[in-house]
Structure 1
Amino acid sequence: MAVENRIDITQPLWDQSTFVGRFRHFAFISNPLLSFVPEKELIQAKELYNKYKQGQEPPGTTMSQVIRAKQLYESAFHPDSGELQNVFGRMSFQMPGGCLITGAMLQWYRTATAVVFWQWVNQSFNALVNYTNRNANSPLTTTQMGVAYASATSAAMATALSFKFVIQKRATNPILARFVPFVAVAAANWVNIPLMRQNEILLGLDVTDENGKVIGKSQVAPIKGISQVVTSRIIMCAPGMLLLPVIMERIEPKAWMQRIRWAHIGIQTGIVGLW
Structure 2
Amino acid sequence: MDEINIDKPLWDLNAFTGRFMHFLWVTDPRTCFTSEKELLDAKDLVLKVRQGQRPNNVSIDEIYRAKKLYESAFHPDSGELQNIFGRMSFQMPGGMAITGAMLQWYRTNTAVIFWQWVNQSFNALVNYTNRNANSSLTTTQLGVSYVTATSSALVAAVGYKGYLTRTASPFFQRYVPFVAVAVANCINIPLMRQNELIFGIDIQDDAGNSVGKSRVAAVKGISQVILI
Normalising by structure 2, we get a TM-score of 0.96
Q: Partner residue of 1:84?
A: 81
Give me the whole-angstrom Cα distance separating, in 2, the residues matched to 1:50 and 1:5.
17
Query: How far is 1:166 from its partner?
Result: 1.3
1:214–1:53 Cα change, 3 Å: closer
Query: How far is 1:177 from its partner?
Result: 1.1
Whether 2:167 is the aligned partner of 1:180: answer no
Q: Partner residue of 1:199?
A: 195
Structure 1 segments unaligned to the other structure (5+ residues): 233-275
Give me the whole-angstrom Cα distance separating, in 2, the residues matched to 1:189 and 1:213.
32
Give me the whole-angstrom Cα distance separating, in 2, the residues matched to 1:111 and 1:24.
41
Pairs within 5 Å for 1:1-275: 4-169=1-166, 171-232=167-228
Query: How far is 1:56 from its partner?
Result: 1.2
1:41–1:184 Cα change, 3 Å: same
1:50–1:187 Cα change, 3 Å: same
Q: What root-mean-square deviation, in Å, do the aligned CA atoms of Structure 1 and Structure 2 show?
A: 1.2
Query: Contact 2:132–2:201 (CA<8 Å) still a contact in 1?
Result: no
Query: How far is 1:211 from its partner?
Result: 3.1
Query: How far is 1:55 from its partner?
Result: 1.3
Give me the whole-angstrom Cα distance separating, in 2, the residues matched to 1:172 and 1:206.
48
Give me the whole-angstrom Cα distance separating, in 2, the residues matched to 1:161 and 1:181.
9
Question: Amino acid of the residue matched to residue 186 of structure 1?
Answer: A
Per-residue CA deviations over 1:108-136 (Å, capped at 9, x if unaligned) read: 00000000000000001111111111110
Query: How far is 1:216 from its partner?
Result: 2.9
1:210–1:113 Cα change, 3 Å: same
Give me the whole-angstrom Cα distance separating, in 1, the residues matched to 2:168 and 2:19.
45
Query: Contact 2:4–2:49 (CA<8 Å) still a contact in 1?
Result: no
**Aligned residues with identical type, % of pairs:** 61
Query: Contact 2:3–2:52 (CA<8 Å) still a contact in 1?
Result: no
Q: Highest Rg: 1 or 2?
A: 1
Give me the whole-angstrom Cα distance separating, in 1, the residues matched to 2:97 and 2:221.
27
Query: How far is 1:93 from its partner?
Result: 0.7
Query: Contact 2:196–2:215 (CA<8 Å) still a contact in 1?
Result: yes
Give me the whole-angstrom Cα distance separating, in 1, the residues matched to 2:3 and 2:40.
22
Question: Amino acid of the residue matched to residue 20 of structure 2?
Answer: F
Give me the whole-angstrom Cα distance separating, in 1, the residues matched to 2:179 and 2:100.
15
Question: Amino acid of the residue matched to residue 198 of structure 2?
Answer: L
1:186–1:74 Cα change, 3 Å: same
1:7–1:175 Cα change, 3 Å: same
